[in-house]
Amino acid sequence: MTEGYTHMPVARKTVDLSLRDFALPLFRRKRLLIWTFIAVLLGIPLISLLLGPAYSSRMVILINRERLDPLVSTEANTQLINSDTPVTPEEINSEVELLRSRDVLEQVVVANGLDKPQGFSLADLLRPHQTREDRIARAVKGLAKQIKVANIRNSNLIEITYQTPNPELSYRVLKSLGDLYVAKHVAVHRPTGSYEFFTQQTDKYHAELADAEAKLREFGRTNGVAAPDDQRTSLATQLSDTFGLLHGAEQSIAADEERMASDRRQLLGTPSRSTTLQTSAANDKLIDDLNDALLAAQTKRTQLLLKYDPAFPLVKEADQEVRDDQAAVAKAEEKKYTAETSDRDPTYELLREDLAKSQVDLSGQRATLTATKRSVQSLRDEMVRLDQLSITQQDLQREVKAAESNYLLYLAKREQERTSNALDVTRIANVAIAVPPTIPALPVLSWPMVILTALVLALILSIGLAYAVDYFDPSFHTPEQLVEDLGIPVVVAFPRRRA
């Protein structure tokens, strides 16, 4: 009765595990170990044979900044993205989410017919009345699980893999996914309708520019002026010169009036004529005439005395005539006659001419003053009119410049958007298919790899299952476990023997 174990008190203590302790559970569960190993070793190749070979296609997408789209704004200075800025992880994650977006996957499903029944399917058998939308939704869900999207570490590359039993289907799915993703990227990063908006604004401001230019031309024709500012500057010069003439005329009038007053004062004290020649002599002819008259009177008295008495009145009259003639001759012999020759005084004539000239000049200067005043007023009125026209023209010119500026701005924006649209059409974007998918020629796992994988899994699962079953088994395997768990001393122990 003492075979196997001896009676001895056993105390609780820490037991060092040995290789035998690790092997004991395997020996206790060797039947489970063997059957599990055989089942896994044979089951994995059998499942692989039933499922057929799996082909995996691979595609790599590069995220870069080669295309620099201007921001859609109405600013004159276009803001550009800095191409030196590295691609951030957030941007890469955004592109990964675009790849996994439902609409892209749904288009891939429809494009490759993944929503159509692929032979016998238990799901189709259990859901006989499902609609096409239901099949598409389930196909999208399954495709999202099968497609593996991952960012290659420390790079701007996104790797996409897809594995199916059909190598051509694997290629087609990734090919359509790449094309649809690039289109989705372009659509998301490019606002829709921007080109049409800028085209409408360009046409609008072009019409406004043409209207403003027409108003400016009509303004020039209506008012008969092309450059009011230049004409106003020229008129200002003329007005300044006219003011000079006005002051000059006023000064000339004052000078002429003063000169005329001076001439009049001098004329009052200046004789109009002056003696040029003066001679003094007796008047011989008068004396001769008086002597002849005296001789005639004496002859007449002599003749009367021959006829009459000296007391006769005619004789007395003749005597008196003789005496008068004698007195006249005596008086004439006593007097001297002076002969003077006179002419116009030159000073008087000069003053008179200067006065006449000053009067003429004064009349001319007064006429000039009146005309100059009218010119000044006319120039002022014209300058006021030109000033108003200049303000109106400047308003029209500002309208033309504003319309031209807006037109050129939106024209440049339209060209930018047209260029971006052209790049969109040619699929030039900030993502590129770095490694396009190809039709896989070899399956993912070959038969040697399948057998090796089955062998490794069989070992791992069988050993793990044996340890797990042994660990969760409630029975005692050694006296030490009984003493440790129940605290009851073991008197004798017999190993279990199988019949």
pLDDT tens digits, one per residue of 374-401: 888 888 888 888 888 888 888 888 888 8
- Which carries the bigger pLDDT value, residue 481 or residue 469? 469
Start-to-end C-alpha separation, the chain: 19
Looking at residue 1, what is its pLDDT? Answer: 35
Mean pLDDT of the region 53-76: 67
Mean pLDDT of the region 290-301: 80
Looking at residue 50, what is its pLDDT? Answer: 67
pLDDT band at 11 (very low <50, low <70, confident <90, very high): very low
How far is residue 302's CA from residue 496's CA, in Å, rounded to a whole number?
240
Is residue 10's pLDDT more than 50? no
How far is residue 411's CA from residue 200's CA, in Å, rounded to a whole number?
10
Distance of CA 127 to the CA centre of its chain: 62
20 CB neighbour count, 10 Å cutoff: 8
Mean pLDDT of the region 281-302: 76
Q: What is the pLDDT of residues 437-454, one digit of tens each?
A: 888 877 766 667 767 887
Looking at residue 426, what is its pLDDT? Answer: 45
Strands of the 148-151 sheet, one edge to the other: 148-151, 157-164, 55-63, 431-435
pLDDT band at 7 (very low <50, low <70, confident <90, very high): very low
Q: What is the pLDDT of residues 132-190, one digit of tens each?
A: 788 888 888 888 888 888 888 888 888 888 888 888 888 888 888 888 888 787 777 65
Compute the mean pLDDT over every residue in the chain, rounded to the nearest whole number: 76
Phi-psi region of 114 (alpha: psi -120 to 50; beta: other; left: phi over 0): alpha
How far is residue 45's CA from residue 25's CA, in Å, rounded to a whole number?
28
48 CB neighbour count, 10 Å cutoff: 19
pTM: 0.43
Q: Which of 77-81, 269-273, 359-363, 412-416 has the highest mean pLDDT?
A: 359-363
For residue 263, give the nearest of 353, 362, 346 by alpha carbon.
353
Q: What is the pLDDT of residues 189-205, one digit of tens each?
A: 655 656 677 788 888 88
Is residue 99's pLDDT more than 70? yes
Per residue, the 3-state secondary structure of 428-480, as one string, reads CCCEEEEECCCCCCCCCCCHHHHHHHHHHHHHHHHHHHHHHHHHHCCCCCCHH
275 CB neighbour count, 10 Å cutoff: 10
How far is residue 423's CA from residue 66's CA, in Å, rounded to a whole number?
12
pLDDT band at 476 (very low <50, low <70, confident <90, very high): low
Q: What is the pLDDT of residues 16-58, one digit of tens each?
A: 556 766 777 777 777 888 888 888 878 777 776 666 667 788 8
Mean pLDDT of the region 121-130: 59
Q: Please, are residues 462 and 40 in contact by the beta-carbon 8 Å criterion?
A: yes
How far is residue 61's CA from residue 436's CA, in Å, rounded to a whole number?
8
Q: Please, are residues 167 and 441 in contact by the beta-carbon 8 Å criterion?
A: yes
Looking at residue 6, what is its pLDDT? Answer: 37
Q: Which of 229-233, 267-271, 354-358 has the highest mean pLDDT?
A: 354-358
Enter the tokens of residue 441.
Answer: 């020629």
- Which residue type is seen at 356? A
pLDDT band at 2 (very low <50, low <70, confident <90, very high): very low
Q: Which of 13-22, 264-273, 340-349 has the highest mean pLDDT?
A: 264-273
pLDDT band at 466 (very low <50, low <70, confident <90, very high): confident
How far is residue 95's CA from residue 60's CA, in Å, rounded to a whole number?
12
151 CB neighbour count, 10 Å cutoff: 16
- For the chain, what percent of residues have pLDDT higher than 90? 0
- C-alpha Rg value of the chain to the nearest Å: 72
Structural element, H or E, at residue 253: helix 228-268
- Residues paired with 352 in a beta bridge: none
